[in-house]
């Protein structure tokens, strides 16, 4: 079976696919991460400010808490919104956490999409084209600041003058871009990303996305094989296949395409994704407090991909 690595993505707040108990959230989180940190290669936190009035923690604060308490796994964001933090500041934040965590950061990054939180928190919400172009400039600044000193950049949206970013690690953070727009966004991925992340979907759609990304890589003179392809996947697993499918239906959301079934079915579906070229997956599980599904995945699915 093809090799695939896995990261665990606990909820930072109410995603609508699991029950969140605010008063017990911290103890619930400890229990889940205590299990995940022993088996998963990485721990991931998402970046949203608020969909409405739900319980929700800010991404970077949450990630630094995880970094301090779980010193083994790599640390990832899935994915940070360029609009929330000026890119030179983001470069400094990332370099600092990467250095403090002994080089464990995977900076997942994207152009943002949910207009409601932009408006609620007082951010401008430019067109998709502008948001992508802003992200293009932002990642150029961040990569330069992780590798060079000093850095000067004059763009349409951002500028830095003789900027230093110390301490810089010998190996910079991994930059994972979660951007799938076919005309412009994937071009940014092809030019700048170490890893690419997209949301799991039907096989034909994913194959098409890979073909488009390959074309952008060719246009940029980039070796397509040098870009790691990763997926964000919602997993509904149970010993009973029918129970797993029922669970998947209960937590289904628009445009979601969960991997669902008993351990054998889940292994088969992941193997199909691995055969396409995806060798890393960031996973969410709907039973945040119970942990039975998480432990079942660790015991009966993960070993097949080691």
8 Å CB contact between 302 and 1: no
Distance in angstroms (rounded) separating the CA atoms of residues 285 and 18: 8
H-state helical runs in the chain: 25-39, 59-69, 87-100, 115-120, 128-147, 185-192, 203-220, 241-250, 263-276, 292-300
What are the tens digits of pLDDT across the range 252-295?
777 779 999 999 999 999 999 999 999 999 999 998 999 999 99
pLDDT at 121 over 80: yes
Can you read off the two tokens belonging to residue 258? 């969960």
What are the tens digits of pLDDT across the range 42-53?
999 999 999 999
Can you read off the two tokens belonging to residue 219? 């246009």
Break the chain into its structural domains and give their ranges.
Answer: 5-305
pLDDT of residue 11: 95
Q: How far is CA 227 from the centre of its chain?
A: 15
What are the tens digits of pLDDT across the range 66-110?
999 999 999 999 999 999 999 999 999 999 999 999 999 999 999
DSSP result, 259-270: EEESHHHHHHHH
Contacts of 157 (CB under 8 A, 6+ apart): 130, 133, 134, 137
Q: If pLDDT is split at 50, 70 and 90, which confidence band does 166 have? A: very high
CATH of region 5-305:
3.20.20.30
Percent of the chain with pLDDT over 90: 93
């Amino acid at each position: 079976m093809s090799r695939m690595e896995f990261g665990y993505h606990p909820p930072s707040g109410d995603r609508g696919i699991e029950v969140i108990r605010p008063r017990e959230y911290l103890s619930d989180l400890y229990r889940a991460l205590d299990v995940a940190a022993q088996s998963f290669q990485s721990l991931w936190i998402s970046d949203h400010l608020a969909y409405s009035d739900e319980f929700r923690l800010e991404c970077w604060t949450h990630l630094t808490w995880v970094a301090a308490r779980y010193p083994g796994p790599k640390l990832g964001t899935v994915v940070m919104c360029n609009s929330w933090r000026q890119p030179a500041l983001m470069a400094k934040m990332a370099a600092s956490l990467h250095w403090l965590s002994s080089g464990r950061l995977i900076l997942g990054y994207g152009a943002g999409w949910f207009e409601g939180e932009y408006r609620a928190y007082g951010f401008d919400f430019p067109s998709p084209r502008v948001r992508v172009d802003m992200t293009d400039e932002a990642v150029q600044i961040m990569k330069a600041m992780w590798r060079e000193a000093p850095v000067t950049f004059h763009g349409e949206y951002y500028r830095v003058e003789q900027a230093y970013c110390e301490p810089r690690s010998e190996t910079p953070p991994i930059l994972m871009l979660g951007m799938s727009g076919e005309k412009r966004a994937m071009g940014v991925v092809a030019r700048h990303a170490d890893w690419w992340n997209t949301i799991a979907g039907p096989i034909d759609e994913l194959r098409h996305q890979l073909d488009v990304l390959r074309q952008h890589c060719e246009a940029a003179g980039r070796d397509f094989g040098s870009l790691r392809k990763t997926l964000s996947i919602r997993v509904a697993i149970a010993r009973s296949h029918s129970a797993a499918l029922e669970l998947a239906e209960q937590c289904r959301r628009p445009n979601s395409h969960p991997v669902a079934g008993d351990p054998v079915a889940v292994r088969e579906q992941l193997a199909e994704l691995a055969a396409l070229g995806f060798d890393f997956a960031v996973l969410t599980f709907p039973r945040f407090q119970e942990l039975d599904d998480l432990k079942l995945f660790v015991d009966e699915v993960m070993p097949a991909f080691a």
